[in-house]
Amino acid sequence: MIARIAELRKDVEDFQISGADLLEQFRIRYLSKKGSISTLFEGFRNVPPEEKRETGRLLNELKQLATDKYNEHRERLSFAETVTSETDLSRPAWPLRAGTRHPISIIRYQVIDIFSRMGFTVSEGPEIEDDNHVFTLLNFARDHPARDMQDTFFIRKSSGVESHPDDVLLRTHTSSVQVRVMEKEQPPIRTISPGRVFRNEAVSARAHCIFHQVEGLYIAENVSFADLRQTLLYFAVELFGKDVRIRLRPSYFPFTEPSAEMDINCNLCGGEGCSVCKGTGWLELLGCGMVDPNVLEACGIDSEKYTGYAFGLGIERAAMLKYGVNDLRLYFENDIRFLNQFRSEIL
């Protein structure tokens, strides 16, 4: 039996299939119910017990070899037939319209590249999160407005008035990724967290219920607000050019203290004032601040030894400033006339 299997294996390997007729002959000869391989399987019952294991293995390998060869040639011949019948081989191959990345993706990769050159790693996390990682560990009070249904898309909400750590929601910021990093790692930590976030807001030219963020976190010994400002200035110059100007305004965030918002000069109006910048000549680009000691302690980091800064950038807003787009809704409408304007952006 083993010798017959070896002989039949050589026949299968040597069989030349150049057309549909030969393919069908191959199937009938080897793989049909009355084919050679089926005949060998029928005779397997007569094999001595001590040879059954080895014989069975060789038989299965032979059948698999024949099946693979048949399927491979069937697909090849089917494809050749399709090309012959459906493809116009006389059609010119040029010009081909080159594709490009979406403007949001372009800015996202540029931002990641800038911070990567400063030593930041990239961290990612789930879009569906729990209340604990989105709010509680980030020092949000139980009655903070961001927990309210008007601001957050809840998937599962506890019946009580107050929030519960097990509430499930769509993340409102990628700070939840930073929390997960701090829970797993000890300083020094230098990471950015790009991703999509969701907020229950009215869609307008300046806001959307879905948008994209890149949030950054740096924790080490002796980190100061001056380090934060220099990092953000370098980033702004790299993204918008050497003529960009920035300003930091005092602000409030539950997870940073002190906190600030960073503006850059509005390039849509040259700083003279327009409807987008509301006549101020400045546009808010990101929020930032020193990580609150309560957040460090909640994540298991010694706030007496370590300090750090954090920032959050809206990619749509950065793209608006970079390309002079005055309506965020354009990024989500997939209007080919709009997207074609970014065809030369290969990044």
Candidate from 78-87, 129-138, 145-154 with smallest mean pLDDT: 78-87
Task: Choose the final residue of a domain: 86, 113, 129.
Answer: 86
Longest dimension (CA), the chain: 95
Task: Choose the final residue of a domain: 36, 54, 86.
Answer: 86
Q: Are 6 and 111 found together in one domain? A: no
Q: Are 247 and 321 found together in one domain? A: yes
Asked, as a colleague might, if the bond just before 258 is cis with ω within 30 of 0, I would say yes
Residue 95 lies in a domain: no
Per-residue confidence (pLDDT) for residue 208, from 0 to 100: 79
- Strand-pairing partners, residue 48, are none
Q: Are 301 and 172 found together in one domain? A: yes
Residue 212 lies in a domain: yes
Tokens of 193: 């967290």
Choose between 281 and 303: higher pLDDT: 303
CATH code, 256? 3.30.930.10
Residue 155 lies in a domain: yes
Residue 93 lies in a domain: no
Domain residues for the domain of 29 are: 2-86
Q: Are 204 and 274 found together in one domain? A: yes
- Strand-pairing partners, residue 309, are 218, 290
Say which residues have a Cβ less than 8 Å from residue 295's Cβ, sequence separation at least 6: 137, 138, 139, 179, 182, 255
Q: Are 75 and 115 found together in one domain? A: no
Tokens of 182: 């701090």
Measured between alpha carbons, how far is 18 from 109 in angstroms, rounded to an integer? 49
What digits encode the pLDDT tens for the residues 293-316?
Answer: 999 999 999 999 999 999 999 898
Closest CA to 313 of 227, 204, 231, 220: 231
What digits encode the pLDDT tens for the residues 49-85?
Answer: 888 888 888 888 888 888 888 888 888 877 666 655 5
Say what the pTM is: 0.66
What's the burial of 115, exposed, middle or buried (CB within 10 Å: 0-12/13-18/19+)? Answer: buried
Q: How many CB atoms lie within 10 A of CB 195?
A: 20
Q: Are 117 and 32 found together in one domain? A: no
Q: What is the CA radius of gyration of the chain?
A: 32
Q: Are 36 and 79 found together in one domain? A: yes
With a pLDDT cut of 70, the percent of the chain lying above it is: 87
Q: Are 65 and 193 found together in one domain? A: no
What digits encode the pLDDT tens for the residues 1-46?
Answer: 788 888 888 888 888 888 888 888 888 888 888 888 888 888 877 8
Say which residues have a Cβ less than 8 Å from residue 116's Cβ, sequence separation at least 6: 122
* Cβ atoms of 255 and 228 closer than 8 Å: no
Residue 92 lies in a domain: no
* 78 residue type, one letter: S
What digits encode the pLDDT tens for the residues 167-217?
Answer: 888 998 999 999 999 999 999 999 999 999 998 887 776 677 888 999 999
Residue 174 lies in a domain: yes
- How many separate domains does the chain show? 2
Say which residues have a Cβ less than 8 Å from residue 197's Cβ, sequence separation at least 6: 127, 170, 171, 172, 173, 174, 210, 211, 212, 213
Q: Are 144 and 176 found together in one domain? A: yes
- Exposure on the CB side of residue 8, measured as CA atoms within 13 A: 25
Whole-number mean pLDDT of the chain? 84
Does residue 346 carry a pLDDT above 80? no
Task: Choose the final residue of a domain: 61, 86, 111.
Answer: 86
Measured between alpha carbons, how far is 303 from 297 in angstroms, rounded to an integer? 6
Q: Are 66 and 172 found together in one domain? A: no
Residue 319 lies in a domain: yes
Residue 284 lies in a domain: yes
Q: Are 80 and 110 found together in one domain? A: no
In the 8-state DSSP scheme, what is residue 145?
Answer: G
- Strand-pairing partners, residue 248, are 262
CA-to-CA dists, residue 300 to 26, 288, 310, angstroms: 68, 22, 17
Per-residue confidence (pLDDT) for residue 345, from 0 to 100: 47
Q: Are 111 and 51 found together in one domain? A: no
Per-residue confidence (pLDDT) for residue 347, from 0 to 100: 43
